[in-house]
Each structure stands twice: as C-alpha cells, then as structure tokens.
Amino acid sequence: MKFDDEFYTKIINIFARRINYTPGSLLEEKIISQIRRRKRFNITKIFVVMAIVVIFVTVVVFSNLNTVNQRSIYSSYENNNIQEVPQKFEPIIDISLVSDGF
Amino acid sequence: MKKFFVLFFFIIFTVLMFSFSYHAYRFVIEYTKDKQYTRYEEVYYKDGDKIVFVKIPRRIIWVKLGDKYYMGTSDKLKLCPPIKDLEDIFLEYANSHGISLDFNGEITISEKAFTLKALKIDGLLRNVIRKFEDVITEMQYIYTLSNYTFNEILQNFKFIDKSEVPQSIYNIFNLFLWFNVEYEDDVLKVYAIDKDGENILLEISDKSGDYQVGEYYLTILESSDKTREEILNEISSNS
C-alpha cells in the first residue's frame, strides 16, 4: 500500500513537472521573440497583400481613366478642328458650346 | 421733407435687401455612355444679369443684360439669341411648375423627355443635374469672393446691337431642347433633340440648300412632322 502511494506520488510529480513546466528566462525570451517574429511576419504579410491590392486597383482605375475620353463639351468642338470653320458659322458653334439647351 | 427721406431710405433698404449677386466658378460635366465632356467657366451674377467667361473648351464671353444677350471672344460683344445654362433651364421649369425657388435641399422636376434635379444650400444653388436617356449633364458651383463687382467687370465691354446670324436661324434653335454642331464638307450639320425628345438633323450651308434664310441655306434631313412644320413656320414668318 505504502509502495503504491510512493509510486503514484512519483508519477504525479513527474506529470506535474511536465505539465507545469516553466522555462528558464533565456528560453522564455527565445520563445517570446519567436512568437513576436511570427506576428511581425503576419503584419508584413498583410501589408504586402494590401500593397498588391492597392497597386492592382490603382492600375485598373488609371487604365480605365485613360480610356475615358477627356474631351471638351460636345463632340462638335473636336470635329471643328479638323476643318477650319468659316467665320460665318462661328457664332452658331460658339452658342452650341456655351448653351446647355433651350 | 421727412417723408421724402423715409421713402428714400426705404427704397435703398429694399434694393439692398433683395439685391442678389454672386461670383462663382462652374464646372459643367456631360456624361454619355462612353464619353465625358467638360466646360469650365467663371460667372458674375447680379439680379438676373450675368457675365460668363467660358474658359474651357474655348475662351468665349457671353453676357445677359435684361432680355438681351451678347457674345464674343474679345471686349466687343455682339448681339446673339438667348443662351440658357442649366441654371436658367432649372429656373424656367421650376417657374412653369409653380415651384417656389425659396427652398433648401433637393428638388426634382420630371418632364416628358428629361428630369432635372437641383440642390440648394443656404440660398445658393450647389448643383443642377439633368438626365436625358443615357446623357447626364451636371453643373457644379464653387462660390468665391471677387475683387471686382459686376458693374466693374461690365464696363470693360463694348456691346454691339447687331447679330451676325439671322434671328430666324436662332429662333429655329429655340424649338430644340439642345443641339450639337459639326462642320464637315463645307456644311454645318446640326444634330438636335426637339422638345418631344425626337432626333433632328439639319444642314446649314452658305452655298446651297432647300430653304434660303438670309445669306444661309437650310436643309432639313431628319425631323418629326410637327417640328418640321414649326421650323418652316419660323423661316416663313421671318422671310
């Protein structure tokens, strides 16, 4: 009986030491720094992903902007530059440019 | 004498109280399905009269003085037909619907061919938007103070009460909601939308055409019967 008590106490102590293991200060520092590094790596990863997304969106938006025709109001103005407009017609063209309707 | 002074100060007070003027920069942006057009202008406004310096797409100055309109590219401005910007169009349709202009916030007016939406904050129009099919025209205001008054700007111009183009041609344009022009093969092509939203195509030439209007010749290539009749009435009443 006494033998059993001693035996079980030893086993419990061994398990208790394993379960309640506290590392030394050097090892603790090493483990914490590893965890920090892992966290830092995650933040970097997020930044990298975000940067890629931002670059991608910017490229898409700007490529779309370039395809939008940044021209003056009313297509007539651009076309007028192709053939020189006689002075006779200029007032009508000017009115079509500055007026928004009737 | 006392009565005279009271009346004098009352008139001065009333004039100052109800006088309305502003100086603003305006952006007009027109979006179509795949294109975007812009106009940029500076406006001096005083009690219904306007001096507008269009800067983009082309430097043009137009002035509204009472019922008269003048336009030009220098300090000499010639008589021209009424020019309506989105602000005038909104005010006209608001008046025709009996809508009070003393509002704060957003107002939408629905017409047969288009809708108009205006936003007014603190008594000043901030934007006016017109939607016609897939064409959206938007006028944005940026109000700023100016070193010059309306009258100081006005006195720089010389107004010539003579129009270069016959009035009846201008009257034809008044039949449309709006129009665009293209000069091709020595002919001015006028693409317009009439007040029922129908397409119009006219050709104005100084050499030949179906109808003579002063020194110009007009040919109607596309139009509804109703608008064709109105155009012909306009030509015949002025010839």
pLDDT in tens, B140-192: 999 999 889 999 999 999 999 888 788 888 888 888 877 888 888 888 888 88
| A-B contacts at Cβ under 8 angstroms | 131
Task: Please state the separation of Cα B201 from the chain's center in Å.
Answer: 21
Of the candidates B70, B71, B85, B82, the one whose C-alpha atom is nearest the C-alpha of residue B28 is B85
Average pLDDT for residues B67-84, to the nearest whole number? Answer: 88
Task: In whole angstroms, give the CA distance from residue A32 to residue A38.
Answer: 10
Q: Collect all residues with Cβ–Cβ distance below 8 Å to B235 and sequence separation of at least 6.
A: B168, B172, B211, B213, B218
ipTM over 0.85: no
CB contact under 8 A, B71 and A70: no
CB contact under 8 A, A76 and B28: no
Strand B68-72 vs strand B60-65: parallel, antiparallel, or unpaired? Answer: antiparallel
CB of B215 within 8 Å of a chain A CB? The answer is yes
Task: In whole angstroms, give the CA distance from residue B134 to residue B33.
Answer: 6
pLDDT at A91: 83
CB contact under 8 A, A101 and B177: yes
pLDDT at A102: 62
Share of chain B above pLDDT 90, in %: 34
- The per-residue pLDDT for range A11-32, each reduced to its tens digit, is 888 877 777 767 778 888 888 8
- Which chain B residues are Cβ-neighbours of A86 within 8 angstroms? 206
pLDDT at B2: 61
Q: How many CA atoms lie within 13 A of B233 on its CB side?
A: 8
- Which chain A residues are Cβ-neighbours of B184 within 8 angstroms? 79, 82-83
Distance from CA of A92 to the nearest CA of B (A): 8
Kindly indicate the confidence band of residue B64, based on its pLDDT and cuts at 50, 70 and 90: very high
Chain A residues within 8 Å of chain B (Cβ atoms)? 68-77, 79-80, 82-83, 85-86, 88-89, 91-102
Contact predicate B215/B194, CB 8 Å: no
Question: Which chain B residues in 21-40 lie under 8 Å from chain A, judged by CB atoms?
Answer: 28, 30, 34-39
Question: Which chain B residues in 151-180 lie under 8 Å from chain A, judged by CB atoms?
Answer: 163-165, 169-170, 173-180
Question: Hey, how many other C-beta atoms are within 10 angstroms of the C-beta on B117?
Answer: 17
pLDDT, mean over chain A: 73
Instruction: Give me the residue from A70, A85, A100 closest to B36, CB to CB.
Output: A70
CB contact under 8 A, A100 and B178: yes
Opening angle at CA B202, ends B181 and B185, nearest 5: 65
pLDDT at B175: 84
CB contact under 8 A, A92 and B165: yes
- The per-residue pLDDT for range B34-59, each reduced to its tens digit, is 788 889 999 999 998 999 999 988 89
Kindly indicate the confidence band of residue A71, based on its pLDDT and cuts at 50, 70 and 90: very low
Task: In whole angstroms, give the CA distance from residue B79 to residue A90.
Answer: 14
Task: In whole angstroms, give the CA distance from residue B239 to residue B235.
Answer: 6
Q: Does residue B136 have a pLDDT over 80?
A: yes
pLDDT at A64: 55
Opening angle at CA B34, ends B32 and B36, nearest 5: 55
Q: Does residue B13 have a pLDDT over 70?
A: no
- Closest residue of A to B189, CA-based? A76
